[in-house]
């Protein structure tokens, strides 16, 4: 009952999809129906500053995306600080930037990096330190000038409670690929009850996973209040949806169809399946 969370999440979302189709209602409306669209952010991976700026500028020009998640956590910290500074200078003050360290820095390294980036107007930082550094994570939250979001350290509702009550996080990344709709809804309720912010995360989902995440994020005011991580499918050469997702003005729209709106291209499924 504790392992295989992504497999369980897929089954959970499939059940919600079936219920929506049976009732002729979208999953977004079943869950809350707050809006029919969400802004999306783009993740900028490790590279040289000029290359990362060029990638972000292309995403803004081509898709209208203006929020960027910047991967950090390398040693020494100077390289990642330089990247963030180059992105702010290249994209200007209107772009929203936040950083994700994937637990790569110690609390002291993270604090030093945040001090050096204090003038860059970062929106928040995600998982800068190891999840098992209990005291260090609390110390960093106390000394951080920006909100600290938890991701890998909060795989379920119990861990969310632990991290927030311990003072080790001020925000939560909710990933439907990890907790489905049922547990994600529970986590969102915890976040609202404890007064912490949320962001719709992504596990390098393809178009199916992104469409499922979108259906959840658009259902709630708090989830859709900031751009969701919904465009990692752009990294992939092909996908399985019969009708590909289209980002317009930095936004994805919920499918006007019962359930999640996922319709599989049978020819692509036959081409890419690996069980033969």
Q: Is 1 exposed, middle or buried (0-12, 13-18, 19+ CB in 10 A)?
A: exposed
User: Does the annotation mark 203 as catalytic?
Assistant: yes
- Structure tokens, 34: 């707050």
Altogether, the residues listed in the chain come to a count of 276
17, 69, 71, 163: the active-site residue: 71
Check 126, 163, 205, 239 and give the catalytic one: 126
Report which of 232, 184, 186 is spatially closest to residue 209, judged by C-alpha positions: 232
Report CA 220 to chain centroid distance, whole Å.
15
Catalytic one among 127, 151, 163, 229? Answer: 151
- Residue the block writes with tokens 């005291």: 135
* C-alpha span between 60 and 249 (Å, rounded): 9
Q: Which one of the listed residues 8, 21, 36, 203 is annotated catalytic? A: 203
From 17, 69, 109, 175, the catalytic residue? 175
Could you confirm whether 71 is annotated as catalytic?
yes
Is 69 one of the annotated active-site residues of the chain? no
- Among residues 80, 100, 127, 229, the one annotated as catalytic is 100
What is the Cα gyration radius of the chain? 19
Q: Check if the beta carbon of residue 149 is closer than 8 Å to that of residue 169.
A: yes
Residue 190: active-site member: no
> Residue 173 has which token pair?
């990344």
Active-site residue numbers?
71, 100, 126, 151, 175, 203
């Amino acid at each position: 009952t504790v392992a295989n969370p992504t497999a369980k999440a897929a089954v959970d979302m499939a059940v919600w999809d079936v219920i929506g189709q049976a009732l002729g209602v979208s999953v977004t409306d079943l869950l809350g129906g707050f809006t029919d669209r969400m802004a999306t952010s783009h993740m900028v991976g490790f590279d040289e500053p000029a290359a990362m700026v060029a990638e972000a500028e292309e995403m803004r020009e081509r898709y209208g995306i203006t929020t960027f998640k910047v991967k950090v956590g390398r040693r020494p910290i100077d390289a990642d600080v330089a990247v963030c500074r180059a992105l702010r200078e290249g994209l200007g003050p209107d772009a929203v930037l936040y950083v994700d360290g994937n637990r790569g820095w110690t609390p002291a390294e993270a604090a030093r990096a945040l001090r050096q980036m204090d003038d860059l107007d970062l929106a928040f930082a995600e998982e800068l330190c190891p999840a098992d550094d209990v005291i260090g994570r609390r110390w960093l939250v106390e000394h951080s000038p920006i909100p600290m979001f938890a991701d890998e350290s909060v795989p379920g509702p119990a861990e969310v409670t632990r991290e927030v009550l311990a003072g080790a996080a001020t925000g939560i990344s909710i990933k439907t690929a990890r907790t489905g709709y049922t547990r994600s809804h529970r986590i969102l309720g915890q976040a609202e009850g404890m007064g912490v912010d949320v962001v719709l995360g992504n596990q390098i989902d393809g178009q199916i996973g992104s469409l499922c995440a979108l259906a959840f994020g658009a259902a709630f005011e708090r989830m859709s209040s900031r751009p969701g991580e919904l465009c990692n499918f752009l990294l992939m050469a092909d996908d399985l949806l019969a009708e590909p997702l289209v980002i317009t003005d930095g936004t994805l729209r919920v499918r006007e169809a019962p359930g999640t709106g996922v319709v599989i291209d049978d020819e692509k499924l036959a081409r890419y399946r690996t069980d033969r």
